Amino acid sequence: MGVKLVALDIDGTLIDPAHYGHDHTPAPRVSAAVAALRDSGIAVVLASGRMFPGTAKIARHLGLPGPVICQQGCSVHLLDGTMTHEFPIARAPALEIIDYARQIERAYEWFNPLRYIVSQRSQATDHYGVVSGITPEYRPDPENSGVVPTGVGVISSRTEANGIHRALVSHHGEALHILDFPEVTVAVAPEANKGHALSLVCADLGIDRHEVVAIGDSVNDAAMLAWAGLGVAMPHSDAYALDAADTVLEERDEALAVFLERLAR
């Protein structure tokens, strides 16, 4: 069965991980390879941890028509801003998680597809605002902002995050999807993941999962790498993406561009 759709993560995949937190776009050869895929009749869908504005910016840069998958799979949007799918987190467990953040004296985030509200400013939260194309909002009580959240997160450090992840999984692992990022532990609804969102996009387009190639590098890509007919991990991927992928790109210059060019041919 041939390839009909390629799902691409942005940060760490389309854009080099060294450029995270900056207003970068994909390298010229990668952009040209994406155009070649479209010219060959293969659909390309972006699936990002970014919020909608930052994801849509890269889609427009690449000339993609949409839809786009945003915020780890919490929402799916058309490029005109129409939201076709959204998976909010239940308020009660969200409040329990931010109570835990307060107990361990860590900052926390409260977000939906368009607003990112944080209890304390940091370089990491400013960077997320840059790539997401939004201005973070800072207030001591994000939960009282009136925003119905698609997720919450406990902001920590590379040395603390994994322990926080284990603690949250032990209390909420069956009720929520808990993501183990290096400096933040994010909780979203159990159905809010890139794999589920990609399955909905493919159902809308009439594309079978075995006709899909998904490429990513991080814990939030693992579900879509596992769901796709072929899951491809970047060479620098974390353990979650590597475990979920069927194959790993070789460590070489412009490895992603080379792989996409082969798909287009």
d(CA 168, CA 21): 26
Q: What is the mean pLDDT of the chain?
A: 94
pLDDT value of residue 252: 77
pLDDT digits 0-9 by tens, 178-196 = 999 989 999 999 999 999 9
pLDDT value of residue 20: 62
Percent of the chain at pLDDT above 70?
A: 98
CATH 3.30.230.70 for domain 5-86+192-264: no
- Total residue length of the chain: 265
Q: Is the pLDDT assigned to residue 1 strictly greater than 80?
A: no
pLDDT value of residue 19: 63
Map residue 206 onto helix, strand or coil.
Answer: coil
Single pTM value for the model: 0.93
d(CA 200, CA 189): 16
pLDDT value of residue 17: 78
pLDDT digits 0-9 by tens, 6-22 = 999 999 999 987 766 56
Cα angle for residues 253, 257, 259 (degrees, 5° grid): 100
* Residue range 91-108: mean pLDDT, rounded: 96
pLDDT digits 0-9 by tens, 74-97 = 999 999 999 999 999 999 999 999
* Residue range 23-48: mean pLDDT, rounded: 95
pLDDT value of residue 22: 66
d(CA 260, CA 245): 16
What does the block give as tokens for 29?
């050869």
Q: Is the pLDDT assigned to residue 225 strictly greater than 90?
A: yes
Q: Is the pLDDT assigned to residue 120 strictly greater than 90?
A: yes
Ranges of CATH 3.40.50.1000 domains, the chain:
5-86+192-264
Ranges of CATH 3.30.1240.10 domains, the chain:
91-188
Map residue 63 onto helix, strand or coil.
Answer: coil
Report which listed range, 41-45, 159-163, 167-171, is most confident: 41-45
CATH of the domain spanning 91-188, picked from 3.30.2290.10, 2.130.10.10, 3.30.1240.10, 3.30.413.10: 3.30.1240.10
Q: Is the pLDDT assigned to residue 253 strictly greater than 90?
A: no
